[in-house]
Amino acid sequence: MRKAPTILHLDMDAFYASAEQASKPSLRGKAVVVGGLGPRGVVATASYEARVFGVHSAMPMGQARRLAPNAAYLVPRFGFYKAISEQVMGLLRELSPLVEPLSLDEAFVDLEAGGAAWDDASARLVGARLRGDIRAVTGLTGSVGLAASKMLAKIASEQAKPDGLVVIEPGTERALLGPLSVRTLPGVGPATGDHLRRAGIHTVDEIVEAGEDELVRLLGKAHGHGLYAMALARDERAVVAEREAKSVSVEDTYDVDIHDRVRVGLEVQRLADRCVRRLRGAGLSGRTIVLKVRRYDFSTLTRSETLRGPTDDPAVVREAALRLLEGVDSTGGVRLLGVGVTGLADFTQEDLFAQAAQAAEAAEAAGAAGEGVDHAVEQAADDVPAEERDVLVERRWVAGHDVRHAQYGHGWVQGSGLGRVTVRFETPDSEPGRVRTFLVDDPALESADPLPLVEVTGAPPHRL
């Protein structure tokens, strides 16, 4: 008996950027880029209008600015995004006890486990109602994929973007997968994709044609068997109910051992940045940085360093990982590197300041005084993206963040510098607002909490 398409995958559309557009009427329909605005910042999310110019997530922010110089560039408001995410996850939990969040804007749901769907028609109805409920509760859109497995449901939601619903009906899976790129399958990242490409394997059909034995020869027993099964649309992974995350980590295995110490350091920094993107995507920060190194002889070493307070600053994680690398002997070559963060906590903006304070205290303890302490704080500030460096000095006026003026009401910071701050005064349900400029120490201006995107006027919509 064929399985019904009762695994649902939800992916919110350009989540951070869409939330900013919904919050700021003047940005609706315009290119918006959310991420770190400093010289080493990366794009967290780009609106669909910005993607037209080639801007995408994980791109260096400097490159994004060159591609879309007239876009609005904003610093993430993670607390705001997390509050919206909790509303969405609440809707999903009303459908089933088996909800597996992958990040703030993405999750799997086993509809059959909740009795919400049992065949094609009921699953399609649930998906359509869910999309309507998300829009009613949050004002945002999400794309929904429905299939008989997690892998296929995720592929379906990608095909549904933006703001759509795609159901992969039983019996159509192989025909759908065949022409797709090998990178579509879970576990096929850039390195594995390149390895398969060099072997002449570009599509899922070509994986099947190559055969299981050839995949095992190319990728190893575990990866080869698993990838071949997925190419045949076999994915038995169950939806796992939410568990409290204990760590966030990334790692890469290299086809050829790395012997160059400089290259090893660059790889560690790249992994640290990837780890932080995943950390921020989950709305978390962490205190303990972990480095994993598997050497040429398969011996595996792990080193860790615990900070004074939690962080999600990529510069802090990079520097800690590099310090840990200094204590590892990589003579003979490295075949695997990994960077992780443990001791997780909910994201707080103040975490960034704790690192500067820690640097100042360390300098003072070492006997530094006066200029020495100032230099330590300056060094820590240099490691913080420019937008948050302003916060270290003024503790407010971050681009995109909320403020309130005693006379003009609620608004958001468009920019600051040279002792002045520019604010656009508008709310989610207003017309695009006017822009005014103030001195940075104007006593009538203060930081504010974000306003809800949708005013609650009664009970939430009825759901299945």
Please identify every residue annotated as catalytic: 106
Please answer whether residues 149 and 235 qualify as being in contact, where contact means their C-beta atoms are separated by less than 8 angstroms: yes
Please answer whether residues 75 and 37 qualify as being in contact, where contact means their C-beta atoms are separated by less than 8 angstroms: yes
**3-state SS, residue 463:** coil
| Pairing verdict, β 434-439 and 334-346 | unpaired
| Helix extents (H) in 366-452 | 371-382, 386-394
Concatenated DSSP letters of 376-401: HHHHHHHTS-HHHHHHHHHS---TT-
The token pair that represents 306 in the structure block:
């615990």
Please answer whether residues 245 and 307 qualify as being in contact, where contact means their C-beta atoms are separated by less than 8 angstroms: no
Q: Which residues contact 184 (CB under 8 A, 6 or more apart)?
A: 155, 177, 204
- Sheet with 43-46, side-by-side order of all strands: 43-46, 32-35, 72-74
* Helices 351-365 & 371-382 angle (0-180, nearest 10): 150
**3-state SS, residue 156:** helix
Q: Which of 164, 162, 126, 124 is nearest to 144 (CA)?
A: 164
Q: Dihedral sign for Cα 248, 231, 57, 24, please.
A: negative
Please state, in angstroms and as integers, the Cα–Cα distance from residue 12 to each residue in 18, 213, 251, 317, 319, following that order: 9, 39, 26, 28, 33
| Pairing verdict, β 72-74 and 106-110 | unpaired
User: What b/e readout covers 332-359, taking b as 16+ CB neighbours within 10 angstroms?
Assistant: eebbbbbbbbbbbeebbbebbbbbbebb
Q: What is the rounded distance in angstroms from the CA atom of residue 22 to the CA atom of residue 453?
A: 7
| Pairing verdict, β 72-74 and 32-35 | parallel
Q: Which of 272, 152, 89 is nearest to 98 (CA)?
A: 89
Q: What is the rounded distance in angstroms from the CA atom of residue 166 to the CA atom of residue 45?
A: 23
The token pair that represents 385 in the structure block:
């993206």
